[in-house]
Structure formats: structure tokens, C-alpha cells
Amino acid sequence: MLSYRHSYHAGNHADVLKHIVLTLCIESLKEKEKPFLYLDTHSGAGRYLLRSEHAEKTGEYLSGINLLWQQSNIPELINTYISVLKRYNPFDELKYYPGSPLIAKQLLREQDKLNLTELHPTDYPLLKQEFSKDKRTKVLREDGFAQLKSKLPPQSRRGIVLIDPSYEMKDDYQKIPIVLLEAYKRFATGVYLIWYPVVSRTQTQKMINNIVSLGIKRISQFELAIKPDNNQKGLTASGMIVINPPWKLHEQMHTILPWLKTTLDVEKTGNFIIRELVSE
């Protein structure tokens, strides 16, 4: 099924959390001069117009990045994330939201590499165009999950892998632990970021439990809820499972997540989670 378009959801609270964690992890790997690979399994179009028909139809960005954009007391730890947004919105008007590929494009160095995949027939050409002049990047119209087998380990033996399907195909919940284990066996030292939505807590928790049971060490969880769990349709929370988290990440998120909850949880009914699921 290729009906999902991230343009309906760009800049929502889930994107904010996902991209802050991604930014922190990229900046951590840049502390060493040695190059690394950024591999993005479900890249989307790359850039999203927040005044588009899709974005305006859902209005999800209004309760996400739009709320951050209005803040003057932004924690220093997310300045890098905000600085990337300002590169695409230089006149202080929030017009575009960059997806994970463009965030990585701005933050990675000349010696680093990007591997991006997208299957959607409309989004793939847009993504390809965004990176047409970037020699560091390979943009492929292929199955993102298959890249975890074919592109790992990277030659540099350093890398960040972002796994963030739409989960509109229900077997993604079952597939992720399987492909993750295959990837980890090939590249055990990589930083793996697995984004997950909370629409059905039971379904999401089962996937997390399956990941925990894989026998992989050093797994952390960071989750932000803007509403309590319920049985109604809609995204109440989202989170990031991080394998091999950078050593500063927990401390950083202890500062960032309380602030994000205060800023994005307008109705004051949500919560957040910072948890080590599996230790050394």
C-alpha cells in the first residue's frame, strides 16, 4: 500500500520529538572526525509546505512545530534543531518543515554519507530533486527495510539508522523487530532510532516488548504523549526506541522532554517517558 503521504502530518508533535532526538544523535557522532553513514528507511518527500492543502486539512503542525516556533525560552539543547528549521524559513515565517533527510543533509559533514529510500511514486521524485546536487547522498526507490540488509555495515563502521515507517501497513509492527535483529547482527555498533506511534497502546507495546526480547543490549525509550491513551482513532503519543544511545542522550532528554510536554501538551493531560529498557 502506497497511499500514505507524510505531508498531512509534517511538523506535528511526533515529528518534533523524532527530529530532536535525531539531531542530538547526529551531533554526538560528529564529535569524532571519522565519517559515518546516515541511513533513512522511509524518507518521504524531504520538504513539506505547511500552507499546502494536505497540511492545512489536518492542521497537525499547529499543535506541533508551530507552538515551538512561538517560544522565546527554547532550551539551548534544541538550538541546533531550530537552526535547521530557520535555514528553510529565513524570514521568521514558518512556511516549510524539513523532514529527516533534509535535517541530516544540513547537519552531516562533507566526509559523511546519506542513504535515503522512498517508494511512493509522488514523493520519490521530490526527494530525488532535493538531493540532485548532493554528492554525499544516494536516493533509491526501493524497500527501506531491505536496505538494512544490503547497506549494512557501512564502510566507516559508524552510522545512524532511522526506521520510521507510517505503520499504516499493520505488519510493520511485526516486521520491525525481525529486520532490526538482522541489521544489528551485521552492524552491532550502529545507533538505531526506531520511531513509533501510539494509536493502539496494546499494538505498540507488543512491538516494543518484541524488540526488548531480541537480546540486544543498550536500548532506551523516549516518549511524549499529548493526550492520555484512549480507544478513539488518532495519535495520542509517539516515541523513539534508541539502540546504542549516545552517552549524553538520557541527560539531554531529561531537560528537553519536560519542556516539550509543557509546550505541546496544551490540555495538560499527557505525560512523557524516559526509560532504559535494556542496560549494558
For residue 122, the SS3 value is coil
Question: What whole-number distance in Å separates Cα of residue 75 and Cα of residue 80?
Answer: 10
Q: Where does residue 218 rank: exposed (0-12), middle (13-18), buried (19+ CB within 10 A)?
A: middle
- In Å, what is the CA distance from 257 to each residue of 122, 153, 196, 234? 34, 32, 16, 21
- Tell me whether residue 265 is one of the annotated catalytic residues: no
40 in a known ligand binding site: no
Strands 219-225 and 96-98 turn out to be: unpaired
6 in a known ligand binding site: no
Strands 191-198 and 237-243 turn out to be: antiparallel
Non-local (6+) Cβ contacts of 79 within 8 A are none
Amino acid type, 54: H
Non-local (6+) Cβ contacts of 146 within 8 A are none
Q: What pLDDT score was predicted for residue 231?
A: 75
CA 258 to chain centre: 19
Question: What whole-number distance in Å separates Cα of residue 137 and Cα of residue 169?
Answer: 27
Whole-number CA gyration radius for the chain: 17
144 in a known ligand binding site: yes
Return the sign of the alpha-carbon dihedral for residues 145, 148, 150, 156: positive
Neighbouring CB atoms inside 10 A of 179's CB total: 19
Nearest to 21 by CA among 190, 227, 257, 183: 257
Nearest to 243 by CA among 203, 198, 189: 189
118 in a known ligand binding site: yes
143 in a known ligand binding site: yes
Q: What pLDDT score was predicted for residue 4?
A: 56
E-strand stretches of the chain: 37-40, 47-49, 96-98, 113-117, 137-140, 159-163, 191-198, 219-225, 237-243, 271-278
For residue 255, the SS3 value is helix
Q: Which of 15, 40, 112, 164 is catalytic?
A: 164
Question: What whole-number distance in Å separates Cα of residue 108 and Cα of residue 136?
Answer: 9
Sheet holding 37-40, edge to edge: 137-140, 113-117, 37-40, 159-163, 191-198, 237-243, 219-225, 271-278
CA 143 to chain centre: 18
- The reported pTM is 0.96
The set of cell numbers assigned to 56 is: 492545512
- Residue-range domains of the chain with CATH: 6-278 (3.40.50.150)
Q: What pLDDT score was predicted for residue 3?
A: 47
Q: Tens of pLDDT along the chain (280 residues)?
A: 444 567 778 899 999 999 999 999 999 999 999 999 999 999 999 999 998 888 778 788 998 999 999 898 999 999 999 999 999 999 888 999 999 999 999 999 999 999 999 999 999 999 999 999 999 999 999 999 999 999 999 999 999 999 999 898 889 999 999 999 999 999 999 999 999 999 989 999 999 999 999 999 999 999 999 999 887 777 899 999 999 999 999 999 999 999 999 999 999 999 999 999 999 8
